[in-house]
Amino acid sequence: MIDERRMRFLKEIEQEFIERNITFKLIDEKKINADFNGDVDLLADWKHDDIITSTILHYCKREKLQHSVMHHVSLMPVLSKKFIIFDPNSSTLPLQIDINYSFHWIFFEFFNSSVLLENRSSKNLKIKDTILFYKNIFYRKAKHPAECVEKMNMPFKRSRIIRFLFLIKFASKNLSFQPIFLINFFKNALSQLLINARESRSIAFYGSDGAGKTTIIDAVENNPIINAIFDEVVIRHTRPGILPSISALLKRKKKIPDVKREHRQYSFSKSHLVLLYYFADYFLERLNPLNFLRRKKTLILYDRYFLEYAYQPAFQRISPYLVLILEKIILRPNHNFYLSGDAKIISSRKNEITKHFVNEQYSLYQTYVSSISDVPSTFIDTTKLSKVQSLDRVITKILNNA
């Protein structure tokens, strides 16, 4: 069952609902373990949506908790809403509250939550089954809805169920009703796609090889709080990847360099051609419609990004200021992280780099990136901090911007 701390959050929120005369009922508590979130389902009437939302947000503010709200695309103005409540300074997994609402369509009530809520003797899971049943009918997932009605003992009058089924059947075939379905669907779908795009985030990680970028990125991807407040976590390397790499374009096999990374430099013409080609990749990503309309609330983690060209040895013949000018045109991350630390320790993790290279990379990043770019940078010393401490700092920054 849900642990003590999250159960306290839930009970206190329920008490505030009672004090504000909000009719609700806990219909399901899901068992959890270390890999899952505390997940509870509540039933309420959609007319209380505003006050329910304000109550939860007020509680989070008072208790110094953070929150994230996720809406579900539906044909109705309100179908269900998911609240994620968490403490960024605690390792406790977040509490997820799913509010299932009743709602009205034209002149007919989809389901009457007050009837269900007043029926205190009924089992909670039976109520949940009832809700799922009606949703399935509405989305026409039930193969034989009439037979289901006969078999299930619903807390509704038979006449209302038949009226409801007839209305759905009629509306799906009658052109005069069809536009209402379509208008509601596209309005709510568009609204949710815009919300998901606005609340999606991208984070870029920089640092020399051996600093621990891959380790931290993998840990962020598997963090339970991150997975609770984002529908999807995507890892990308250096660029969006809309255009193929130059080596793939020329059908060349990637060779393992036989010189140290800090000695590898491109000529003036080659470095600028490479920069412009890959700049087109970043620019096309900005034009990607998924950036304006997203089906999922997404967190994109970049292992290096465009500002890599401002300080890497291969591109030393490019003016860093040209890179910073081009950066203003592309889609920029919400935050940059530079992982660094003791150069001796970092260089010992990778044979192809030296202490001088590690220190030089750090200095160049500070000079040409963090002090000039508008995107904020956070420096993390991964040689002094443990993996857990480094991860906590990254997660806290992401959550503060989420």
Residues 145-163: tens digit of each pLDDT: 444 444 444 444 554 555 5
Q: Is the pLDDT reported for residue 107 higher than 50?
A: no
Shared domain check, 211 and 73? no
Mean pLDDT of 190-209: 87
What is the domain range of residue 271?
200-401
Number of compact structural domains in the chain: 2
pLDDT of residue 373: 83
* Average pLDDT, integer, range 263-269: 79
pTM above 0.75, yes or no: no
Please tell me whether residues 226 and 177 are part of one structural domain.
no
Residues 156 and 211 in one domain: no
131 or 381: whose pLDDT is higher? Answer: 381
The pLDDT-based confidence of 109 (bands split at 50, 70, 90) is very low
CATH number of the domain encompassing residue 263: 3.40.50.300
Among the candidates 194, 227, 251, a domain finishes at: 194
The domain boundary, picked from 174, 194, 214, lies at 194
For residue 252, CA distances in Å to 245, 247, 281, 402 come to 10, 5, 19, 41
Q: Give yes or no: residues 68 and 211 share one domain.
A: no
Q: Are residues 63 and 82 in the same domain?
A: yes
| Predicted confidence (pLDDT) at residue 382 exceeds the cutoff of 80 | yes
